[in-house]
Amino acid sequence: LQFTEEKLGQAEKTELDAHFENLLARADCTKNWTEKILRQTEVLLQPNPSARVEEFLYEKLDRKVPSRVTNGELLAQYMTEAANDFGPGTPYGKTLIKVGETQRRLGAAEREFIRSASINFLTPLRNFLEGDWRTISKERRILQNRRLDLDACKARVKKAKAAEAKAAVTA
């Protein structure tokens, strides 16, 4: 009732401290940017949307995500197979082996980067959103309910005093 009356402009609303309002605004801003950064980093690390959905499902089911071959590693595999077909002694075969080995190392480095970024960067962001932010939201709802209760009590006291004053005037 108090909430509805406040929205309709029929009841007074106790304003929170300006510093506290500023903190709430900063918390909202932090949450929004954290979500955006998390999503975009996931897109950067795994551009394939269906693979991201698959990884998300594995994560929610608390199962280990199967290891994927990176594009660099796949290219290295193709180059090595082609070198073996052309012959490792031919100039083209030697070049393919050399470039294939470099691609394999690049692919392994990419895999390590993705693993490291996931552990050291994405995990803390997820922990904030799933832990700290939920706590902040819960406490914010509790504060809002307490404020509404306080304002409802103030309104009742005000009405009681008005009724008392009216009774004193008529008596």
Evaluated on CA atoms 142, 147, 152, 154, the torsion sign reads positive
pLDDT in tens, 34-73: 999 999 999 999 888 888 888 888 887 888 877 788 889 9
Q: Which amino acid would we find at residue 162?
A: A
Look at 39 and 6; give whichever has higher pLDDT. 39
pTM of the full structure: 0.74
CA–CA separation, 136 vs 118, rounded Å? 24
Cα(52)–Cα(42) distance, rounded to whole angstroms? 8
Structure confidence at residue 16 as a pLDDT band (50, 70, 90): confident
Q: For a pLDDT cut of 90, what percent of the chain falls above it? A: 57
Q: Which pLDDT score is estimated for 1?
A: 67
Q: Which residues of 144-156 are buried (b: 16+ CB within 10 A; e: fewer)?
A: eeebbeebbeebe
Q: What is the set of domains in the chain, with CATH numbers?
A: 1-165 (1.20.1270.60)
pLDDT band at 10 (very low <50, low <70, confident <90, very high): low
Asked if residue 157 has pLDDT above 80, the reply is: yes
Going by pLDDT thresholds of 50, 70 and 90, the confidence category of residue 165 is: confident
What was the pLDDT predicted at 152? 84
Cα–Cα distance measured from residue 145 to residue 2, given in angstroms and rounded to the nearest whole number:
10
User: Which pLDDT score, from 0 to 100, does residue 6 have?
Assistant: 64
pLDDT value for 46: 87
How much is the pLDDT for 7?
64
Mean pLDDT throughout 4-19?
76
Give the model's pLDDT for residue 169. 83
**pLDDT on residue 8:** 66
23-37, 85-99, 107-121, 150-164: the lowest-pLDDT one? 150-164
Mean pLDDT of 10-19: 80
